[in-house]
Structure 1
Amino acid sequence: MIGALFTLLGCQFLGELLRDALHLPIPGPVVGMILLAVGLALRGDGRAEAEASSALDRTAGVLLEHMGLLFVPAGVGVITSAGLLRTEWLPILGGLLGSTVLSLGVTGIAMHRLGRRSAQPCATPARHGRQEARS
């Protein structure tokens, strides 16, 4: 479990380093997650890799079980910024609503296009079926 935790933290650290070095506009932990996903996709299927994957699964499960506890610092930050929230509530609300509508719209368009693409039947069986129906 300690090795898996170091793997997760190492990916986050490398993501932070890459973000700073390349001046990327996305957070370092997101870059780290991408690095972890690529690393997991490219690894071999040997016994040692399977044990490491199992340790990562267990460690990620423990972290997910305690996710509520990990949000406590963010909640404390919101409470300590109550004065700022009280004075700047309108732009914050506008940003929240705007980003929500935008993300729902983009997700809806993407799902619509992907659904349409996967729902298209193959050309050959459809033509063959029509020819048989005419006969």
Structure 2
Amino acid sequence: MIVNLVVLLACQLAGEVAARGLGLPIPGPVIGMALLFAAFILQPRLAQRIAATTSALLAHLSLLFVPAGVGVVGHLDTLGRDGVALMAALLLSTVAAILAGVYVFLAVARLTGASE
């Protein structure tokens, strides 16, 4: 399990180094996730090996939200001041993401000739 965690963290570190070193506008963890995905494609046994570790991490995912909750409590004054704008941005971005997903699904269905 330790080796699997090292692989996950190494991919994230590589993504952070690439994002900051090259000045990319993409977050480092996203680049790291793409690197991990590429590693899974090149080495399918790696995906099978890491599956148990990632399942354990996902089972305890709620623990990762504790720092976010502490951050919200720490910035209650900002939420009180800009709460309406933050909620509007959250609502609009959620609707935009859902609509983008719908349009991508429709485009892929049209390209693949899937029947309705």
Per the TM superposition, whether the score is higher than 0.5 is yes
Aligned match for 2:51, one of 39, 45, 57: 57
2:32 is aligned to 32
Question: In the TM superposition, what whole-angstrom CA distance separates every residue of 1:62-90 from its partner, at most 9, and x where no partner exists?
Answer: 10000001111011111111111011012
Residue 117 in structure 1 maps to residue 111 in structure 2: yes
Q: Which has the higher contact order (CA 8 A, sep 6+)?
A: 1
The 1:22–1:58 alpha-carbon spacing in structure 2 relative to 1, beyond 3 Å, is: same
CA displacement at 1:111 relative to structure 2: 1.0
The more displaced of 107-116 and 10-19 is: 107-116
2:67 is aligned to 73
Unaligned runs of 5+ residues in structure 2 are: none
Seq. identity, %: 37
- Residue type of the alignment partner of 2:63: L
2:15 is aligned to 15
Off by >6 Å, runs of 4+ in structure 1: none
Question: In the TM superposition, what whole-angstrom CA distance separates every residue of 1:76-133 from its partner, at most 9, and x where no partner exists?
Answer: 1111111110110121012111111211111111111112222368xxxxxxxxxxxx
Unaligned runs of 5+ residues in structure 1 are: 122-135
TM-score after normalising by structure 1: 0.78
Separation in structure 2 between the aligned mates of residue 54 and residue 109 of structure 1, nearest angstrom: 32
1:41 is aligned to 41
The 1:93–1:6 alpha-carbon spacing in structure 2 relative to 1, beyond 3 Å, is: same
Q: How many residues align?
A: 115
